[in-house]
Structure 1
Amino acid sequence: MDQHEHGAQYPQTVNPAGLATPGGHYSHVSIANGLIFVSGQLPIDATGRKLTDSPFEAQAEQVLANLASALVGAGSDVTKLAQVRAYIVDVGHWASFNEIYARWAGDARPARAVVPVPALHFGLKIEVEAVAVV
């Protein structure tokens, strides 16, 4: 059955300016039925430089800047976030992440999970993915 028969939209993909080229077979953003799905953002700057040797706080700020760029590039913004999931390599960074995130998110309070993981790609310390509305 064709998705359009029920008013559904085929997903559109976006790779916003200001973000490094995706490092694998994915897009930074997929938009479907009024929802924006942002792929996991790592602390990689727009030139592709990985912040592997940077402190956790610098990595967290870069990841959230990447998330904001992805949202804006998809026609949304931080105030339209519905859900955020952060993966951190050390639960000891939770308090620091929470402080940086609260400052970044402002009045927005989407659903959120902070998940401790044993390791992330390239030895990075944080990855964040999200869902927002257009």
Structure 2
Amino acid sequence: MGDMNKTIISTAHAPAAIGAYSQAVKVGQTVYVSGQIPLDPVTMEMVGPDFDEQATQVFTNLLAVAQASGGTLANAVKLTIYLTDLGNFASLNEIMARFCDEPFPARAAVQVSALPKNAQIEIDAVLCLD
């Protein structure tokens, strides 16, 4: 592993890391995107309490990091979605369909008891660049 070619991806168009992590790490043609919550990248404040608004901001943040890595969400091969209420699953699918085209990436969606800053949704991603 000492020879691993690792590139740190960073963009001002997505929220700055608020802990000991990078927005994304690229190894070869694979990009590992850290979990995104509904923070506005300019103000670093949460968007409103509406789930649809939060989910839209999360996908917007993911897209910004994907673009900074040289890709788009079309390069996503795996998403892990964390929800504080699985009752928002149908809304999640509608919003995801606005950002991701078929063939859709593999994904997992799980309900968790809490997320940072009381977010209702967090998503991380793995991208494979062409």
TM-score, length of structure 2 as denominator length: 0.92
Query: How far apart, in 2, do the equivalents of 1:41 and 1:21 lie?
Result: 10
Identity of aligned residues (%): 32
Q: Give the alignment partner of residue 45 of structure 1, picking from 24, 32, 40.
A: 40
Q: Give the alignment partner of residue 97 of structure 2, picking from 93, 102, 120.
A: 102
Residue number in structure 1 paired with 2:12 = 17
Question: Does the CA-based 8 Å contact 1:85-1:112 persist in structure 2?
Answer: yes
Most deviating of 116-125 and 99-108 = 99-108
Query: How far apart, in 2, do the equivalents of 1:78 and 1:121 lie?
Result: 23
Question: Does the CA-based 8 Å contact 2:15-2:61 persist in structure 1?
Answer: no
Most deviating of 102-111 and 65-74 = 102-111
Q: Give the alignment partner of residue 76 of structure 1, picking from 71, 74, 80.
A: 71
The Cα RMSD (Å) is: 1.3
SS class of match (1:112): strand
Residue number in structure 2 paired with 1:119 = 114
Distance 1:79 1:126, change over 3 A: same
Residue number in structure 2 paired with 1:85 = 80
Residue number in structure 2 paired with 1:6 = none
Distance 1:111 1:21, change over 3 A: same
Distance 1:90 1:15, change over 3 A: same
Q: CA deviation at 1:106?
A: 2.2
Query: How far apart, in 2, do the equivalents of 1:107 and 1:2 lie?
Result: 37
* Cα displacement string for residues 65-118 of structure 1 (whole angstroms, at most 9, x for unaligned residues): 000000000111111111011100001011110111112212241101111111
Q: How many residues align?
A: 128
TM-score, length of structure 1 as denominator length: 0.90
The unaligned stretches of length 5 or more in structure 2 are none
SS class of match (1:59): helix
Question: Does the CA-based 8 Å contact 2:79-2:107 persist in structure 1?
Answer: yes
Tell me which stretches of 4 or more aligned residues in structure 1 moved more than 4 Å: none
